[in-house]
Structure 1
Amino acid sequence: MGTPEFAVPSLDILLKNGYEVVGVITSTDKYGGRGNKKLIESAIKKYAVKKGLKVLQPKNLKAPEFVAELRSLNADLQVVVAFRMLPVIVWDMPTIGTINLHGSLLPKYRGAAPINWAVINGEKETGVTTFFIRHEIDTGDLLFQEKMPIGADETVGEVHDRMMYLGADLVLKTVKAIESNNYQLRKQDESLVSKAPKIYTADCEINFNQPTQKVHDFIRGLSPYPTAWTTLNELKLKIFKASREISKHTYAAGQFFTDNKNYLKISTADGFIQIHNLQLQGRKRLGVKDFLNGYKIVLDMNEKKRYNIFVSTKMNTFNILDIDESELEKIIALYKYGKDNIFLKGKKYWFSDLSEIQIYTFENEKIKTEQELISLCKSKKLFKSGMFG
């Protein structure tokens, strides 16, 4: 029992090892493609038909006619790989029972999207599990498990494609063990349970106001499907492939940066996400250079930059303050129009005591302390070329 491509290697390996497959149960055919005019068959049905296997495609798994036909197959064991939830009358039918292949190391990531959530959560390891199906979903007694690593930059699609073959090997191992009655069941440890619920399109919007690593994991955990997205000029922008750039900055999260030729990146809480493969609403999926070759991004020049202010007084005290563009404009206006004092971050400064105010931006510098900024200004000889002098 199965539907997507993930299930095909498991069916294939059982056939190649001489097991009699008396029937294949899969989803009904659906219309899709442009205009919903093309009848689409599941991957498992295509394979089964090619191999001359009997295929059942019930709309209702409790329908008496389907249950009767399934019973007539007299299966000793049912194997479920990526199929929908079964009613008791179906999974309890075979004499041995019904086993399921699950794409996680149960009891972690019970639910419909275990591979996605493992990648989204930054897991370095996942795996596959076989177990006997019971009433509650993914709670049955464990048969076997096999672990596999998750690469730091792997997408869920890449993990999926490796996992389906690892899963097929585990299905074969499990069926052989059941055949020879050489296995021990293990109860799942309920204290280790985590959930992997179905992911909807609305859940896939990227929150850039997070650490770069979390944003990166979110993108790769949804690529290629259902795909992480944001908006660009009020159009949905899907991001399929990206990389991390950890660097201190003072930009608002979610701001776009591009040279409109080679790169496109978006600011996060502690760096940037470099986009490599994307799809804008109404357009084809493209690499970033091809995309920029045919689409010019006009950046919002009203985005507020942050500035560092160096204030030198006659008493030789220094204050380095983080201000935005509107605050900067206010300070300049007060200074130009001869006001006798200014407030910088709640502190009053009298112009008569000020020997110098200079303003700099250091977009690519990692500055942690006031002294570091003063040293940087001195090393670049910026004290002689400030905005005020």
Structure 2
Amino acid sequence: MNIIFMGTPDFAVECLDILVKSAHNIIAVITSEDKPAGRGQKIKISDVKKYSIKKNLKILQPKNLKNSDFISEVKSLKPDVFIVVAFRMLPKILWEIPKKGTINLHASLLPNLRGAAPIHWAIIKGFKETGVTTFYINENIDCGKIIEQKKVSILKNENTGDLYNKLKKIGANTILSTLEKIDNKDFKSIKQKESEKHLKAPKLNRENTQINWNKPSTEVHNFIRGLNPYPSAWTTVNKINKILKVYKSRKYLSSTNENYKPGTIIMTKNTLLISTGSGLIEILELKLEGKKMMNNIEFNNGFKSLNKTNLI
């Protein structure tokens, strides 16, 4: 089939690569505009564009997806199908162009975890299982008819980076099998069932990545691993008013009966513990504002004065 691929980050590159190596024909790639980024404001190009340049693929970078010249150019390419992976919301005038539809890959088992950050929230919410879904795009975000789903287990101490790497490989293979189904017309798309039980996966921001130490230790641990490696869970060291980013933790079986206020730092010879709303959690990797990444022993040795102080 003649395919126009739409995507921006590394997650999408895996899917594009498997399509390039398949019998399908990538007639164009649509990706985000080049933008200045970082302290030096150097122009940054998307991972998908970098890959597309290497493979000599036709690249389109529209500022406005409704632009008439852009729409005309896309129509002139006569695509059979659009494949969309980690891109922005498409206007109807665009997604209704291909005769075989516009297919989106979403990194959750829809309708659960609709939204911008499904991989993070699957771990934050303590899911034991997640997966990927291919579906037809319609007017509502992540609500179209499902074509295919593949499940994957979430391991006990897996973080978002680990799960991301698993899902991008599974997602790429699911895209390929979905196209085979569409080509052979041997499937029936399924309407998503709405339920209040289904959780959302909203975009991550400063507010919803702050650790709440009043929650039980299991929830705090899931929160930390769900935000590792990016954007990272954070808290404030009250005594010195500095941000502390926490990257790695594990649940701690306490033998002490002392009751500490949630968020209290408890240093021992070999451990860095924080009290929570229910139980203690052991911190293994962290980064204090203005300092390099440290393990728990390095932190204890360098910041002994913070023992028995509070995080907020």
Aligned pair partner of 2:143 in 135, 139, 142: 139
- Identity, % of aligned positions: 47
Matched, 1:202 2:207: yes
State the shift of 1:301 in Å: 5.8
CA contact (8 A) 1:265 1:272 kept: yes
* Residue equivalent to 2:223: 218
* Residue equivalent to 2:280: 272
TM-score (normalizing by structure 1): 0.74
Matched, 1:161 2:165: yes
* Residue equivalent to 1:76: 80
* Residue equivalent to 1:377: none
Measure the CA separation in 2 of the matches of 1:218 and 1:266.
14
* Residue equivalent to 1:184: 188
1:62-101 matched pairs, under 5 angstroms: 62-101=66-105
Q: What SS is found at the alignment partner of 1:106? A: coil
State the shift of 1:108 in Å: 0.7
Q: What SS is found at the alignment partner of 2:304? A: coil
1:128-187 deviation per Cα after TM superposition (whole angstroms, max 9, x unaligned): 000000110111011000000001111111111110000001000001111111111111
Measure the CA separation in 1 of the matches of 2:308 and 2:200.
43
Aligned pair partner of 2:234 in 215, 219, 229: 229
Task: Name the amino acid aligned to 2:292.
Answer: K
Which blocks of at least 5 consecutive residues in structure 1 are unaligned? 304-389
* Residue equivalent to 1:40: 44
User: Aligned pair in 2 of structure 1 residues 302, 59: CA closer, same or farther (>3 Å)?
Assistant: closer
RMSD across aligned positions (CA): 1.7
Q: What SS is found at the alignment partner of 1:240? A: strand
* Residue equivalent to 1:244: 251
Q: What SS is found at the alignment partner of 1:7? A: helix
Measure the CA separation in 2 of the matches of 1:262 and 1:25.
51
Measure the CA separation in 2 of the matches of 1:152 and 1:174.
30
Measure the CA separation in 1 of the matches of 2:122 and 2:258.
30
1:107-140 deviation per Cα after TM superposition (whole angstroms, max 9, x unaligned): 1111111111111110000000000001101110
* Residue equivalent to 2:265: 256
State the shift of 1:239 in Å: 0.8
Measure the CA separation in 1 of the matches of 2:309 and 2:184.
71
Which blocks of at least 5 consecutive residues in structure 2 are unaligned? 1-5
State the shift of 1:285 in Å: 2.5
1:275-320 deviation per Cα after TM superposition (whole angstroms, max 9, x unaligned): 1111111222233334445x323136688xxxxxxxxxxxxxxxxx
CA contact (8 A) 1:227 1:238 kept: yes
CA contact (8 A) 1:61 1:67 kept: yes
Matched, 1:102 2:106: yes
* Residue equivalent to 2:3: none
* Residue equivalent to 1:282: 290
Q: What SS is found at the alignment partner of 2:88? A: coil
Measure the CA separation in 1 of the matches of 2:187 and 2:99.
17
User: Aligned pair in 2 of structure 1 residues 143, 86: CA closer, same or farther (>3 Å)?
Assistant: same
State the shift of 1:240 in Å: 1.0
Measure the CA separation in 2 of the matches of 1:290 and 1:29.
40
Aligned pair partner of 1:17 in 22, 39, 45: 22
Task: Name the amino acid aligned to 1:264.
Answer: L
Measure the CA separation in 1 of the matches of 2:63 and 2:287.
34
User: Aligned pair in 2 of structure 1 residues 111, 18: CA closer, same or farther (>3 Å)?
Assistant: same
**Larger radius of gyration, structure 1 or 2?**
1
Matched, 1:7 2:12: yes
Matched, 1:129 2:138: no
Q: How many residues align?
A: 300
Measure the CA separation in 2 of the matches of 1:80 and 1:178.
15
Measure the CA separation in 2 of the matches of 1:6 and 1:143.
20
Matched, 1:152 2:171: no
CA contact (8 A) 1:3 1:26 kept: yes
TM-score (normalizing by structure 2): 0.91
